[in-house]
Amino acid sequence: MIQKNINLQSFNTFNINAVAGMYANITDEKQLIELSDTKEWNDNPIFVLGGGSNLLFQNAPKGLTIHVDVDGIEIIDETDDYVLVKAGAGVVWNDLVEYALKNNLGGIENLILIPGKCGAAPMQNIGAYGVELESVFDSLSCFLINEKRFRQFDKDECQFGYRDSVFKNKLKGEAIITSITLRLTKKHELNTSYGAIQSKLEEFGIISPTIQDVAKAVKEIRQSKLPNPAVTPNAGSFFKNPIVDNSVVSKIQEQHPQVPVYKIDNSNTKIPAGWLIEQCGWKGRTVDGIGTWKHQALVIVNNGTENGKKIVEFARKIQSDVFNKFGIKLEPEVNIIG
């Protein structure tokens, strides 16, 4: 079950050369129970790998790399209003979205084309175009590494926040997600107010959109702005959109009245990180084979390096410029390993 010295370059969308000293591919939950009794498990740190679409190897992972590849999509409950759909952690996220669209199940149409696998979705509470995973989340199953047992987590126990969950904080490195269950709708409430969705629907000549129409609009918008990782190695949005105090926004508006803002509550506002990066002159800029995407400054692209440390250095230069210009510290959305 355990393999030695496996190159993970094909398992990460940044295309970074990183060799796992010990590697195990998990296609069935039972394999985790067997693996947890081995010396390799008990004597080494555990690194969990999914689709590799939201990480950057600065160094090779230490210890035993667990590649979660549990497959399968199934309906486990159904009412007149909703359906509970369970997906293995190894299911490609976009395949789940396409499954929902094919079966006219709503709630995740705005999340089409987000790269990665289902197991990573709750870890960072994936979101796009006004929708976050927590809005449809029901529960998940995971294997607790130290306790060597399976446990269910409901929505509240996951402690979801903006690109955040208990699995990135208190339980970081302590749980292996094996499946997720979502509550998808039969009677849909569409979210078309974010970004250019509504204008794209109008461009299509659609007045009463379906979930399929919304997905088509989001798909076209994403494809026009974001690079395909299979062609141009990247991990999507590299930084989180910062949420700042309204006083910070007011100060920025004095010099940049056109700054796009999204109100969170009476005290806090979200500012697009891509806009901040672009104002610092980084959009489309390339340094030593590493750059920001020409259509979206929030995406860092790899144009040839196999060294993750160089990408980290590039990202830090962007962080420094944004902080010096706006007083805002950008936080990576990408998980930096090593």
pLDDT tens column, 23-77: 999 999 999 999 999 999 999 999 999 999 999 999 999 999 999 999 999 999 9
pLDDT in tens, 144-201: 999 999 999 999 999 999 899 999 999 999 999 999 999 999 999 999 988 799 999 9
Residue 183 among the catalytic residues: no
Distance between CA atoms of 135 and 301, rounded to whole angstroms?
A: 30
Residue 132 among the catalytic residues: no
pLDDT in tens, 93-117: 999 999 999 999 999 999 999 999 9
Looking at residue 124, its pLDDT comes to 92
Using 50, 70 and 90 to split pLDDT, how confident is the model at 1?
confident
Residue 134 among the catalytic residues: no
**Catalytic option among 29, 163, 179, 183:** 163
293: tokens are 């995407």
**Catalytic option among 135, 141, 165, 237:** 237
